[in-house]
Amino acid sequence: MKNLKYMLVGIVFGLALTKGEAISWYRIQEMFHFQSFHMYGIFMTAVPVGALSLWIIRKLELRSADGQLIDAPVKPYHRGIIPGGLIFGFGWAFTGACPGPLYAQVGAGYLVTIVTFVSALAGTWVYARLQPYLPS
Amino acid sequence: MDFLYKPWPWYVAGPIIGLSVPALLLMGNKKLGVSSTLRQICAACYPANVPFLHYDWKKDSWNLFLVAGILIGGFVGGTLFANPEPTHLSPATVDLLHRQGIENLNGLMPVELFNWHTLVSVKGFVLMVVGGFMVGFGTRYARGCTSGHGIMGLAALQWPSLLATVSFFVGGILFSYFVLPYVLAL
């Protein structure tokens, strides 16, 4: 299965999210109240490590294992970024979870977060339904 | 094995999270992102007549493997090798949470708030159902979450991702200061 290697990345990613307590509801409240450096430390090391790796990959014009030339993602501006971002932030404060941690929280044995997850699916579905009417 | 039980400091967890960016790029030119899997699951399970959900979701099924892995990682780190001790939160946070009525600070989630019984109360419904809905709706509307915008987008120096990440934090700060206390008091 050619996709299994992505599962391996997911396992390490999920383990780091969990052991780093980035999926902790308490840590998220602590972060939003600026009471510890912990979560900011995670972001402030993860982003430069990602940026430096991407820079090296592009500088050396490396190819992926399946021979594609690696390109950086382009994330264009659109009008949903600020309202969508704020709405997600509201939900982040309530649930203590972003989409990645939603999966990790279920895995960590907090089975009731399946409800949060299903509700996130409902939110995605409603967005999809309303998309033609929303400014984008 | 001890390191599997202990929580990892930010300078260990952060770089490992960051390394998922080059790992995915080198394996198959894939861009880290998680919220797109919610759209895929919707497209796979109930596309109805919604144009946004009619696309070739199977073509991007690699990220369903990624999130299956995140679930397994959560199981290994949070169930098999769960930290037996309470989280080392700052004293100010412990004080705040106690003042908000949360006594038991063990594990990763406050079980007094997040359980099957509170789900049928207004408080639990708002936290889990309304909160989850906003996570799903907001990330799709912003076209990315803390992974896609906050890590991948920022690593690629995309200014709209910076705007998105700032919005995530502004929303979170506003709600945890001004709205959450009222929800917890319900």
pTM over 0.90: yes
Alpha carbon of residue B80 to chain centroid:
20
Nearest to B145, CA basis, from B33, B44, B56, B49: B33
Residues B7 and B78 in one domain: yes
Residues B20 and B78 in one domain: yes
Write down the pLDDT at residue B3.
83
For residue A94, pLDDT over 90 is answered with yes
Structural domain contains residue A62 = no
Q: What is the pLDDT of residues A10-62, one digit of tens each?
A: 999 999 999 999 999 999 999 999 999 999 999 999 999 999 999 999 999 99
Write down the pLDDT at residue B186.
87
Q: What is the pLDDT of residues A103-113, one digit of tens each?
A: 999 999 999 99
Write down the pLDDT at residue A135.
83
Residues B6 and B73 in one domain: yes
Write down the pLDDT at residue A130.
95
Structural domain contains residue A47 = no
Structural domain contains residue B102 = no
For residue A1, pLDDT over 80 is answered with no
Write down the pLDDT at residue A2.
84
User: What's the domain range around B8?
Assistant: 1-82
At A99, the pLDDT band (50, 70, 90 cuts) reads: very high
Write down the pLDDT at residue B124.
95
Write down the pLDDT at residue A90.
98
Write down the pLDDT at residue A45.
98
Alpha carbon of residue B152 to chain centroid:
15
Structural domain contains residue B108 = no
Total tally of structural domains belonging to chain A: 1
Structural domain contains residue A51 = no
Residues B76 and B2 in one domain: yes
- Which regions in chain B score pLDDT beneath 70? none
Write down the ipTM of this complex: 0.96
User: What's the domain range around A27?
Assistant: 1-35+74-133
Q: B58: which DSSP letter?
A: G
Contact present, A84 and B35 (Cβ < 8 Å): no
Residues B75 and B5 in one domain: yes
Structural domain contains residue B77 = yes
Structural domain contains residue B87 = no
B183 Cα to chain A: minimum distance (Å):
9
Structural domain contains residue A109 = yes
Contact present, B159 and A119 (Cβ < 8 Å): no
Residues B3 and B63 in one domain: yes
Structural domain contains residue B126 = yes
| CB atoms inside a 10 Å sphere around CB A61 | 8
Write down the pLDDT at residue A43.
97
Residues B127 and B181 in one domain: yes
Residues B74 and B20 in one domain: yes
Structural domain contains residue A99 = yes
CA distance linking residue B93 with residue B80, whole number of Å: 27
Q: What is the pLDDT of residues A56-74, one digit of tens each?
A: 999 999 999 989 999 989 9
B6 Cα to chain A: minimum distance (Å):
7
Q: Which residues pair with A69 in a beta bridge?
A: A63
Contact present, A85 and B164 (Cβ < 8 Å): yes
CA distance linking residue A59 with residue B91, whole number of Å: 45
Report the residue from B51, B142, B145 with minimal CB separation from A80: B142
Which single residue is written with the structure tokens 């600026």? A34
Give the rounded percent of residues in chain A with a pLDDT score beyond 90. 93
CA distance linking residue B115 with residue B104, whole number of Å: 13
Domain termination residue (choose one: B67, B82, B97): B82
End-to-end CA distance of chain B: 42
A29 Cα to chain B: minimum distance (Å):
7
Q: What angle do the packed helices A4-19 and B10-28 form, to 10 degrees?
A: 170
With CB atoms and an 8 Å threshold, state whether B7 touches A20. Answer: yes
CA distance linking residue A45 with residue B134, whole number of Å: 27
Taking CB atoms and an 8 Å cut-off, how many pairs form between chains A and B?
Answer: 522
Alpha carbon of residue A3 to chain centroid:
20
Residues B121 and B77 in one domain: no
**Non-local CB neighbours of B39 within 8 Å, separated by 6+ positions:** A124, A128, B52, B53, B57, B140
Arithmetic mean of pLDDT, A90-103: 96
